[in-house]
């Protein structure tokens, strides 16, 4: 990608915007479908490769537009099968994505920002602050790069927006990218297989609840009361837990769908039986399931991972109280690819 070029990056356009562009060339609607397929299904790198368009039109289109790509600077593989991609953006910033195999699923975890501004105390991405928002093209190119590396070996079955960044802090670009992930002529993912994870930016959640596009929702809870949550997640001072839970309670969900609440377990901070009991209470009435994530430790973080016994006891209290609670294995930890470990470092 050439950041100095003022050409339009075709991957930054919604299908409706692409259609508008093409109609300005006097082109028919079905051309939009053809181009979407070239971009996202065949993964071409130039307009020149779109051989069902006339040579003349390819030249015209190529004159005003480009097709950006992301090539990994490095791909690391972990013994558990997890693979981590490091990408260099046009302006020198770095981002990461992670491919996580799990039985019959292959999940791709995408970044939506370079860094993150929210500064959760247990998260390495947050420690390094926000560099900038990613463009829709930069979000989509992570999917294309992973697909290219997999070379048909296995299809990506699920997408989670849980990599670097807070998706709702980059609202428009993230939603644009999601629309293309769902579009039948682009990636054609089912909306049940895309999960957006947020630390709870309430204006964004409010807006998301009114969108035509529906994806699965995950909320990073990490505490059972205001005091602990504010200590761990500064965002809670602005958007308190009680308001977050209120929005969750009224969030439109499909039939039988639930909100996933993520809960990073920190020894002696939020992992007591009392915390679990409080958690049961505050989630009453919200169709929920809980992902318990024992902290992925790092010398730069001031917390510790609780013992397995403590984790199991916490889980047991939740299950006995009727909540579905899963302990998420810290996949990819050995290559620093697990939750909260993405920093874009080389």
Task: Give the interface with ligand SAH as residue ranges (CB under 6 A).
Answer: 116, 122-123, 162, 166, 197-199, 220, 222, 262, 264, 293, 295-296, 339-340
- Give catalytic status of residue 172 as yes or no: no
Q: Is 337 in the site for ligand SF4 (CB under 6 A)?
A: no
Q: Is 96 in the site for ligand SF4 (CB under 6 A)?
A: no
119 binds, among ligand SAH, ligand SF4, none (CB under 5 to 8 A by kind): ligand SF4
CB 312 → ligand SAH: shortest distance, Å?
Answer: 17
13 binds, among ligand SAH, ligand SF4, none (CB under 5 to 8 A by kind): none
Q: Which of 280, 145, 274 has its CA nearest to residue 221?
A: 280
CA atoms within 13 A on the CB side of 274: 5
262 binds, among ligand SF4, ligand SAH, none (CB under 5 to 8 A by kind): ligand SAH
CB 20 → ligand SF4: shortest distance, Å?
Answer: 34
| Residues 128-167 as x/- pattern, contact with ligand SF4 by CB under 6 A | -------------------------------------xx-
State which residue, 120 or 265, has the beta carbon closest to ligand SF4.
120
- Alpha-carbon Rg for the chain, nearest whole angstrom, is 21
Please tell me the distance from the alpha carbon of residue 318 to that of residue 18, in angstroms, as a whole number.
48
Q: Which of 96, 93, 111, 260 has its CA nearest to residue 173?
A: 111
222 binds, among ligand SF4, ligand SAH, none (CB under 5 to 8 A by kind): ligand SAH
- Give catalytic status of residue 96 as yes or no: yes
Block residue for tokens 């470092």: 345
CB 287 → ligand SF4: shortest distance, Å?
Answer: 23
Q: What is the DSSP annotation of 168-206?
A: GGGHHHHHHHHHHHH-TTTT---GGGEEEEES--HHHHH
21 binds, among ligand SF4, ligand SAH, none (CB under 5 to 8 A by kind): none
Q: Which listed residue (109, 116, 123, 339) is catalytic? A: 339
Block residue for tokens 């289109």: 61
Please tell me the distance from the alpha carbon of residue 320 to that of residue 313, in angstroms, as a whole number.
10
Distances in whole angstroms, Cα of residue 247 to Cα of each of 9, 21, 127, 130, 252: 36, 38, 28, 26, 10
Please tell me the distance from the alpha carbon of residue 81 to that of residue 329, in angstroms, as a whole number.
13
Q: Which listed residue (19, 96, 138, 166) is catalytic? A: 96
Catalytic site positions: 96, 339
**Residues at the contact surface with ligand SF4, assessed by CB under 6 A:** 116, 118-120, 123, 125-126, 165-166, 199, 220, 340
């Amino acid at each position: 990608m050439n950041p100095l070029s003022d050409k339009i990056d075709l991957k930054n356009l919604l299908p409706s915007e692409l259609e508008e562009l093409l109609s300005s060339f006097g082109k028919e609607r079905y051309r939009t479908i053809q181009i979407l397929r070239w971009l996202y299904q065949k993964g071409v790198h130039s307009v020149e490769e779109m051989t069902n368009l006339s040579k003349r039109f390819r030249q015209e289109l190529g004159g005003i537009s480009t097709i950006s790509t992301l090539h990994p600077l490095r791909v690391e593989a972990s013994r558990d099968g997890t693979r981590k991609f490091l990408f260099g953006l046009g302006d020198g910033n770095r981002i990461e994505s992670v491919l996580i195999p799990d039985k019959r699923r292959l999940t791709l975890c995408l970044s939506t920002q370079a860094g993150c501004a929210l500064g959760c105390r247990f998260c390495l991405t947050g420690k390094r602050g926000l560099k900038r928002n990613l463009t829709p093209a930069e979000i989509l190119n992570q999917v294309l790069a992973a697909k290219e590396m997999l070379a048909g070996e296995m299809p990506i079955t699920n997408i989670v927006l849980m990599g670097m960044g807070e998706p709702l802090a980059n609202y428009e670009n993230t939603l644009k990218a999601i629309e293309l992930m769902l579009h039948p002529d682009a990636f054609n993912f089912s909306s049940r297989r895309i999960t957006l994870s947020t630390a709870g930016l309430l204006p964004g959640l409010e807006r998301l609840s009114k969108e035509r596009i529906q994806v699965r929702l995950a909320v990073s809870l990490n505490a059972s009361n205001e005091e602990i949550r504010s200590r761990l997640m500064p965002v809670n001072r602005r958007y308190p837990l009680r308001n977050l839970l209120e929005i969750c309670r009224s969030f439109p969900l499909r039939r039988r769908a639930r909100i996933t609440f993520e809960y990073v377990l920190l020894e002696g901070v939020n992992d007591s039986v009392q915390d679990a009991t409080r958690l049961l209470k505050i989630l009453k009435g919200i169709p929920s399931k809980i992902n318990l994530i024992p902290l992925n430790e790092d010398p730069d973080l001031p917390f510790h991972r609780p013992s397995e016994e403590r984790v199991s006891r916490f889980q047991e209290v939740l299950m006995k109280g009727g909540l579905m609670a899963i302990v998420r294995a810290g996949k990819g930890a050995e290559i620093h690819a697990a939750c909260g470990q993405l920093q874009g470092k080389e």
